[in-house]
Amino acid sequence: MKSKIKYKRVLLKVSGESFGNENGRGVEAKQFVALAKEIQKIIKLGVELAIVVGGGNILRGAKLSNKGKSRIQADQVGMIATAVNALLLQDILEEFNIKVHVISAIEIKNITEPFILRNCLKYLKEKNVVIFAGGTGNPYFTTDTAAALRAIEINADVMLKATGVEGVYTDDPKKNVSAKLYKKLTYMDVLGKRLMVMDLTAISLSMGNRMPIIVFNMGKLENIRKAILGEPVGTYIGE
């Protein structure tokens, strides 16, 4: 089974909405459990897995700032929301006997570990799951950018972005039934067409470091394994 792996070290970006209800809000334990079960299967393949979690199910800093709040403080609250999801996921994963570390870009003493690259690489080599929380630790940067940054720092083979649709489309498929799914795109395609798969900073960072990205539907958790095994799924973004 291990010989079938195409990507050995993987950075998985999971949106906060994946942990919420049907509207992507709140915290639903069953969502964490479902992801944990899939992660357990992935680890058994011999994959070195790191995860970046969002916090949109709890709070989005950008939306809060649009209501007149300080963007910096709103983003800081959003970083804390990602830590909540990371800790909840850690707890569920440990129930499945998976060794896991929550690494936070913002200091949360006695609860999370600080980001030290050497430690992260050690954990991954030991097949421990690493969950990155707190985004980049800076306001004005999304968790997509954090995911691209961490993927590059840990020298991941691929960045997997789990979304609510099948991949990247010519238009919003939830609003336009005629929207077409792209199977493959270059970084310049995404930038030139201004496709809103993730923020432009994340795409530019990935392009500059030749980090391939696969965008797929999180509603089908088996897509994570399929992508890791090299099976066609979602949209591939690369050179």
Query: Which strands form 235-238's sheet, in the order they lie side by side?
Result: 113-114, 100-104, 129-133, 48-53, 9-14, 158-163, 213-217, 235-238, 184-186
What's the CATH number where 148 sits?
A: 3.40.1160.10
Query: For tokens 């942990």, what's the residue?
Result: 19
The type of residue at 33 is V
Structural domain tally of the chain?
1
* Domain region containing 234: 2-238
Phi-psi region of 11 (alpha: psi -120 to 50; beta: other; left: phi over 0): beta
Dist CA 173 CA 197 (whole Å) = 12
* 8-state DSSP, 209: T
pLDDT value for 1:
43
Largest CA distance in the chain: 53
Dist CA 192 CA 7 (whole Å) = 28
Give me the average pLDDT of each 10-residue run along the chain (239 residues).
80 92 86 95 96 88 64 89 96 97 95 97 98 95 96 98 92 90 96 90 96 94 94 95
Size (the chain), residues = 239
Dist CA 158 CA 181 (whole Å) = 20
pLDDT value for 71:
86
- The packing angle between helices 143-153 and 200-208, to 10°, is 10
Phi-psi region of 186 (alpha: psi -120 to 50; beta: other; left: phi over 0): beta
Residue 182 contacts residue 235 (beta carbons within 8 Å): yes
* Both tokens assigned to 170: 């010519």
Residue 95 contacts residue 88 (beta carbons within 8 Å): no
Nearest Cα to 52, choosing from 198, 157, 161, 205? Answer: 161
pTM: 0.92
238: helix, coil or strand? strand
Dist CA 1 CA 209 (whole Å) = 30
pLDDT value for 25:
86
Dist CA 71 CA 144 (whole Å) = 18
pLDDT value for 174:
85
pLDDT value for 101:
98
Residue 104 contacts residue 114 (beta carbons within 8 Å): yes
Residue 197 contacts residue 190 (beta carbons within 8 Å): yes
Beta strands in 164-209 (DSSP E): 168-169, 181-182, 184-186
Dist CA 76 CA 134 (whole Å) = 8
